[in-house]
Amino acid sequence: MNLVNTVIGYPYIGENREWKRSVESFWKQDVTEEVFQQQMKELRLDHIKRQKALGVELITVGDFTFYDRMLDLAVMFGLVPNRYEKLENPTNLTTYYAMARGSKDIVACEMTKWFNTNYHYIVPEYEGKRLHVTNNYILDNFIEAKVELDIVTKPTLIGPYTFVELSKGYDEKARVAFILELIPLYSQVINELVGAGAEWIQLEEPALTQSLSLDEVKIVQEIYKQLVESVPTAKIMLQTYFEALSAYELLSKLPVAGIGLDFVHGKKENMTSLRKFGFPKDKVIGIGCVNGRDIWCANIAAVSTEVQAVLKLSNVQNVWIQSSCSLQHVPVTTISEQSLDPVLRDALSFADEKIMELVQVTSYIRDKEWTGANVVSESILAIEALATHPVRKNQAVHTLLKSVSVTDFARAIPFKERQAIQKQALQLPEFPTTTIGSFPQSAEVKKTRAAWRKKQLSDDEYAEFVKKETARWITLQEEIGLDVLVHGEFERTDMVEYFGEKLTGFAFTEKAWVVSYGSRCVKPPIIYGDVEWKKPMTVKEVVDAQKLTQKYVKGMLTGPVTILNWSFVRDDLPRETVANQIALALRQEIKALEDSGIAIIQVDEPALREGLPLRKENWKQYLTWAVNAFKLATSGVQNETQIHTHMCYCEFNDFIEPIRALDADVISLETSRSHGELIHSLEKNPYELGIGLGVYDIHSPRVPSVEEMEGILTDSLAVIEKEQFWVNPDCGLKTRQEPETVAALKNMVTAAHKLRQRVYAIN
């Protein structure tokens, strides 16, 4: 048997976020493009050398990016929207980053979630113009590794079907033209790689794990028929991940040299397909056996047994032992996490440790022996020690969960009745303006927080600083003219981490960073025990802010499903159970806010969609418990208390029923970056509850004009009743600078006032 280990992709961020610092230095013009390019090269080569040292036998290139891999392909294929022709002094990188982040006068490309992960990709825009290969950067990466390190790597790129599925700007007729234009471009890239000495080319097709109609299957078959015919000497590994391969009987017969399957998240269905249909004997099978999306130590003995079962069913001679998906979704290494509870630390496995697990499994399958004397017993002991940890035996939490009844999942009266009560109680103007919650975290805010964490500032000194910064922004909001204010969240580093630090059952790392979008990195909390509310977490800051103004200040919380989906979650309980534990903790926090006189409380769920199975037929079970978790958190309030929530990039059109089921009094949604697609969706799917449209993109530094936002509002008024209509940015403002934030919000308020005046004049 020919056996080799590999990973689908490796984190490009760097152990200490070296990648992020280089990118942001370039954006600030602190380094020249020449220096920046050299830094990127050094990082690429370091990542390859690191994997080689860990024992990866077939190393991947093309998994590195300057911002996002979908954007990389779009630029390589010439999918640069016409609006970027207006850039002053355009270069390859200025155009690239303008597409990612926008520029002074040009909006960025849309950004949305990469399947059901917390990573956001840039959506390519097909405008029908002639496509061509501008620069085969994959080839450059391959040659770089070969020349600099004498390593023949496995180039990877996102496959043509997935690329088309995740792009926008075409109807069904144009889609065929788009595909037909792309196939020769993929052929050119692959042929150039083969000519340079590449033995294998990996095409990533996670879209093939979604629900596929027979017509879609036929499209996939035709794409790969034409592609393989045009690159007859190439060995293509069709790589699927996140779930099981759809239409297995047909797609497993595609004319490719190998197929990679996820035997972690798609284990049950892929195993069933193997039993029923077998596996083509002439193909390499990629066995995704180590979880690329969680951070828990694998029981390598159990994994080895599962791999052997796959080998027996498939009966193939050429095998890749690999991660279930790219390792970009986990941090780089556990080495830096020395301050964690040792029992927890020993049970963790990040990218480097997962590679070592793959090496162990490969060694055992190939040679029938492990690479160390006690590796199996050590992994089992680590897993068992965590399973019996006292943090997982909180009887108070278990008792509270058992006491939950059906009535705890519903508001006392329907929305229309609440709406009338809240209108009378709150006395807000038409088209009330507000923000999503956070305000810019300036260098001073970050510096002061860092000093406090290092014990250079006392708790009282830090609290006083936060209080002053909050007061300053309350004044600014009043000057801007916002109707409903926020306290600004200056005491919070991250919308999940902040709450996790105040609840039981959470742990936090020092350097366990992962990329969320662009250079935005997060350190997901680790939920490893039972979650319990101990005391108020947000009440003091919000109440202090409310004392400074006659306007309403919203309480700001992160919802239970977002806390769940943006954390690494224990794997010994159903996710539903953990979500309900978090929901009960938030329910107590909401009561504490309400008891303190806070009349509007926002419970954000931007990650609700991320937990969805990729196939729609499997959505119902997840959505039932996810929506119920939100309702369990929010349904205990009085009728007068207005519950808001926020979502971003959630594909409203196919998600309206779950949004409606949340029964939130007001939901705010992204509108600006998707260029009005939400408005079109609302024409087809009317929404009866309160809704706030994000009228400008906070991920871009540009300040949109009054006229631009007024246009969005005017279009929206055609599909939203004025009694429902709120006006807000599309997300929190933490990552923006103060001058652009104030300018954009002033324009937003002016646009809302003009709309208000026009509607009043008509009425």
- Kindly list the catalytic residues: 699
Residues forming a β-bridge with 556: 602
Q: Is 526 annotated as a binding residue?
A: no
Q: Is 646 annotated as a binding residue?
A: yes
Q: Is 489 annotated as a binding residue?
A: yes
Q: Is 604 annotated as a binding residue?
A: yes
Nearest to 282 by CA among 249, 318, 322: 318
Helix axes 351-367, 33-54, angle to 10 degrees: 40
DSSP string, 283-322: SEEEEEEE-SS--BPP-HHHHHHHHHHHHHHH--SEEEEE
Contact 111, 699 (CB under 8 A): yes
φ and ψ of 287, to 5 deg: -100, 100
Helical H runs in 231-299? 248-251, 267-277
Q: Is 521 annotated as a binding residue?
A: yes
Q: Is 610 annotated as a binding residue?
A: yes
Q: Is 378 annotated as a binding residue?
A: no
CB atoms near residue 375 (< 10 Å): 17
- Beta-carbon contacts of residue 509 (< 8 Å; ≥ 6 apart): 331, 336, 337, 340, 523, 526
How far is CA 761 from its chain centroid?
Answer: 43
Q: Is 710 annotated as a binding residue?
A: no
Q: How far is CA 528 from CA 250, 389, 409, 508, in A?
A: 41, 9, 26, 10
CB atoms near residue 341 (< 10 Å): 15
Q: Is 113 annotated as a binding residue?
A: yes
* DSSP 8-state secondary structure symbol assigned to residue 725: E
Q: Is 337 annotated as a binding residue?
A: no
Q: Is 648 annotated as a binding residue?
A: yes
Contact 604, 633 (CB under 8 A): no
Q: Is 289 annotated as a binding residue?
A: no
Contact 342, 389 (CB under 8 A): no
Q: How many residues does the chain have?
A: 763
**Cα separation of the two ends of the chain:** 79
Contact 608, 561 (CB under 8 A): yes
Q: Is 520 annotated as a binding residue?
A: yes
C-alpha–C-alpha distance, residues 677 and 656, integer Å: 14
C-alpha–C-alpha distance, residues 531 and 624, integer Å: 21
Q: Is 721 annotated as a binding residue?
A: no
CB atoms near residue 311 (< 10 Å): 18
Q: Is 532 annotated as a binding residue?
A: no
Q: How far is CA 712 from CA 399, 715, 758, in A?
A: 49, 5, 15
Tokens of 375: 């590796």
Residues forming a β-bridge with 111: 122
Sequence ranges of the binding site for L-methionine: 436-438, 489, 604
Binding-site residues for L-homocysteine sit at: 436-438, 489, 604
Q: Provide the annotated binding site for 5-methyltetrahydropteroyltri-L-glutamate.
A: 17-20, 113, 118, 520-521, 566, 610
Task: Please enumerate, by residue number, every residue annotated as part of a binding site for Zn(2+).
Answer: 646, 648, 670, 731
